[in-house]
Amino acid sequence: MPDTAVPNVFTRAQIGWVPFVEPLSEAELTPHHIAALIDAARAKSEYFRLLARDPDALEHRTRTDKDIFYNPEAGAPRADRELAAAAVSRFNGCIYCCSVHARFAATYAKREADVDRLLADGVGADLGERWNAIVAASVALTAIPMTFGPEHVTRLRATGMDDLAISDIIQAAAFFNWANRLMLSLGEASADRPPNGASR
């Protein structure tokens, strides 16, 4: 089953994903499964049809995800939330997740060179103080044992972030510790399959 085109570098390019565990077929999806997909178009994605094997877990995970990343009301700009997702993915080693969120971070921030530096050099790359603070906080929350402390909050605050913005960084980093583990464990990145439409 594993194919010969597993990407072995971090990239902003579109790559695909191949499941290790058999997804449900589109024909097997019941109304319960379809409701859990939230977006009907996700029925085309092998990743989401695999997660649909536990439809309630999928539904509540998706709704949590969308509010953390897409809610535009105040808090951290989308680019900062995507940077946290990309940094966690880089640190955990999820090449697929990192590709998606590196693209989003680069697009929303218009900072392709900084994002590429994160991909190439890792979470120690110098991205300027605000992004360095976001990456450091994301890494401190991701490491086991966790090392996130008051100094990370103080540093984020010094870049102009309020409580909700800092909470957005915490939740975005925490969420990618969920997403990376599903994407890494249930299948693998593939350069010779089309993108599967899954972003997390």
Partner 1 sequence: MDVIDTLAGIVPGSRMDAVRDGRKVARTHAQKSYEVLLTPAEPGDFTVAARFAIAAYVAGLHHGGVTADHYADGLATHGGAALAQAVAEAVAQTAAEGPRGAYPPGPLSAEDTPAPAFALSASVTQALGPKLVAGFDYAHYLVFHPRDAAAARFAPLTAAGWTEDTIVSLSQLASFLAFQIRVVAGLSVLAATP
CB atoms within 10 A of CB 127: 21
CA 16 to CA 133: how far, in whole Å? 31
| Residue from 29, 112, 177, 195 in contact with partner 1 (CB under 8 A) | 177
Strand partners, 19: 187
Helix axes 150-158, 163-185, angle to 10 degrees: 120
Task: Establish if 7 lies at the interface with partner 1 (CB under 8 A).
Answer: yes
Q: Please give the residues from 116 up to 145 whose contact with partner 1 meets the rule CB under 8 A.
A: 122, 141-145
Our CB check for partner 1 shows the closer of 92 and 196 to be 92
| b/e code 51-84 from CB counts within 10 Å (16+ = b) | bbeebeebbebbeebeebbeeeeebbebbbbbbb
Task: Establish if 179 lies at the interface with partner 1 (CB under 8 A).
Answer: yes
How many residues bind to partner 1 according to rule CB under 8 A?
66
List, in order, residues 6 or more apart from 20 with CB less than 8 Å away: 1, 185, 186, 187, 188
Give which of 146, 189, 63 is closest to 71, Cα–Cα.
63
Q: In angstroms, give the least distance from the CB of 9 to partner 1.
A: 6
Q: In angstroms, give the least distance from the CB of 100 to partner 1.
A: 16
CA 20 to CA 50: how far, in whole Å? 10
Task: Establish if 2 lies at the interface with partner 1 (CB under 8 A).
Answer: yes
CA 65 to CA 90: how far, in whole Å? 19
Q: Please give the residues from 8 up to 47 whose contact with partner 1 meets the rule CB under 8 A.
A: 8-10, 20-22
| Residue from 168, 196, 199, 200 in contact with partner 1 (CB under 8 A) | 168
Our CB check for partner 1 shows the closer of 91 and 131 to be 91
Residues that bind partner 1 (CB under 8 A): 1-2, 6-10, 20-22, 50-51, 53-54, 56-58, 60-61, 63-64, 66-68, 71, 73-75, 91-95, 122, 141-146, 148-150, 152-154, 163-164, 166-168, 170-171, 173-175, 177-182, 184-186, 188
